[in-house]
Amino acid sequence: MFETVDAVLLARIQFAFTVSFHFLFPAFTIGLASFLAVLNGLWLWSGNTKYLDLFRYWVKIFALAFAMGVVSGIVMSYQFGTNWSVFSDKAGPVIGAPMAYEVLSAFFLEAGFLGIMLFGRDRVGPTLHMIACLAVAVGTAISAFWILSVNSWMHTPAGFEIDPETGQFLPTDFWQVIFNPSFPYRLMHTVTAAYLTTAFIVGGVAALHLLRHRHRPDLVSPATRTMFSMAMWMAAVFAPVQIFLGDMHGLNTLEHQPAKVMAMEGHFESHPDGAPLYLFGLPNQDEQRLNYAIGIPKLSSLILKHDLNAPLDGLDTIPRQDQPPVAIVFWSFRVMVMLGFAMLGIGLWSLVARVRGRLFEWSMLHRAAVVMAPSGLIAVLAGWITTEVGRQPFTVYGFLRTADSAAPLDAAAVGASLVAFIIVYFAVFGAGTYYILRLMNRAPAQAEPRLKDVTNSPTRTAGTTPAQQHMTRKTSPVHPGE
């Protein structure tokens, strides 16, 4: 079945598939952890039970999403050893330490306080419970810090030398490795995207329940109104910030990875007197041209160089073997940008509704919010595709090619594991996502039940609870020797 397929291509597809599933969950839980910490803090500060109801409502969803994120992330680390062993061997001396720090400083912090956050409110007191909520939120941010540092180093490698005998990357300046040229921009852009992702999911859920009771607004709980209001504030504030950060990130990418920007813009030809911004076109990499191009003259030069007549190089200055796949990068970039401006539109629309006192009455706004609920997830996937495919054909940009990074595996072996991943992922994570959607389909209630009330009591590995064990002990016959 896979005899005619390139093993490296299958390994790339496998990693892309697994990381796409994984990326969705941290993109949601990073923002949701902070949202839960804010809700818990507002409850302790104000005593208003709507914040407690919202905390109990979203913490159930967070627990599921966090668990699926952890499980899906473990698989990727194994692929470094199975499918990408050459990359692990050569880049391991540099990226090994930051990835270990991610586990030690972030994952342990999250895991250590997660149980207290989920079940400990009545056991440890409000202060320690609040500390646990903050620790989980900070842990997710630290985890993003280390992972993005490693990923950014692969795009803009710094602080290393190459051993001439082994070909390994050896760190010479650890701080340059961590704070490589693209890392600050990528960190800010990605974390802000996570907050927007959470805001639009929360806003979409709230809008759904507002629409259901649009003819009976008296049935809408205060918690539902509050979470819609908070989500729209996040959209209004962070959407323009994200666009600004995206522009800064783009300028940094132009400086360090110009071929990626050329692919994003669809610039096959150089433009010495100002480059157009192509809104639409069909990239034809074989013939090195953009078919059916529709663009605005010189606008790309204005955006990228802040000068209408600034020259911009095209892919005609890049050897064919070093060009990224243009069509994928071109379209994924446009999906990301389109969704970013749509988020800005929702945020501005909500400000108008708020000023007019109609935030909870405008059904068209609520419908738009429901449609935009998954927009953050789609945008982060499109952004990730733009970033990672735009780095090709390198794993370590400019130094280690993807074709030279893969393990010496047969295509059949990689293909079989890819099929197994697809089946298992859609079954396991499909079921988990379905249950999350079921939880979201129910509006937060007054006196929202606690997580431990929903799960009843801790389950033992034998499948019995302490009470059941006690009853079994009392009613079972006494055997000789007991």
Residue range 214-224: average pLDDT?
77
In the three-class reduction of DSSP (H, G, I as helix; E, B as strand; rest coil), residue 161 is classed as: strand
The predicted-structure confidence for 3-14, as pLDDT tens digits, reads as follows 667 788 888 888
Closest CA to 107 of 78, 65, 151, 69: 69
Q: Token pair 């059941």 is at which residue?
A: 468
Binning pLDDT at 50, 70 and 90, where does residue 443 land? confident
- Cα 331 from chain centre: 19
Asked if the model's pLDDT at residue 450 lies above 80, the reply is no
Residue range 184-191: average pLDDT?
92
Q: Which of 17-21, 126-130, 406-410 has the highest mean pLDDT?
A: 126-130
Asked if the model's pLDDT at residue 131 lies above 50, the reply is yes
Lowest average pLDDT, out of 116-120, 223-227, 343-347, 448-452, goes to 448-452
* Rg value, the chain, Cα: 25
Distances (CA, A) of 407 to 73, 93, 107, 167, 219: 20, 18, 28, 16, 59
Judge residue 294's burial from the number of C-beta atoms within 10 Å of its C-beta, 0-12 exposed, 13-18 middle, 19 or more buried: exposed
d(CA 380, CA 336): 7
Binning pLDDT at 50, 70 and 90, where does residue 199 land? very high
What pLDDT, on a 0 to 100 scale, did the predictor assign at position 422? Answer: 85
Residue range 353-370: average pLDDT?
90
Residue range 427-433: average pLDDT?
84
Percent over 70 (pLDDT), the chain: 91
The predicted-structure confidence for 312-336, as pLDDT tens digits, reads as follows 888 989 899 999 999 999 999 999 9
The answer to whether 439 and 61 have CB atoms below 8 angstroms apart is yes
The answer to whether 389 and 327 have CB atoms below 8 angstroms apart is no
d(CA 40, CA 19): 31
What pLDDT, on a 0 to 100 scale, did the predictor assign at position 339? Answer: 94
The answer to whether 140 and 33 have CB atoms below 8 angstroms apart is yes
The predicted-structure confidence for 144-168, as pLDDT tens digits, reads as follows 899 899 999 999 999 899 988 888 8
d(CA 55, CA 60): 9
List, in sequence order, every beta strand (DSSP E) within 185-299: 277-284, 289-296
Binning pLDDT at 50, 70 and 90, where does residue 461 land? very low
Question: Virtual CA dihedral for 393, 394, 398, 401, nearest 10 degrees?
Answer: -90
Print burial letters for 433-456: b (CB count within 10 Å at least 16), e (below 16).
beebeeebeebbeeebebbeeeee
The predicted-structure confidence for 372-381, as pLDDT tens digits, reads as follows 999 999 999 9
Indicate the average pLDDT of the chain: 84
d(CA 203, CA 234): 9
Asked if the model's pLDDT at residue 237 lies above 90, the reply is yes
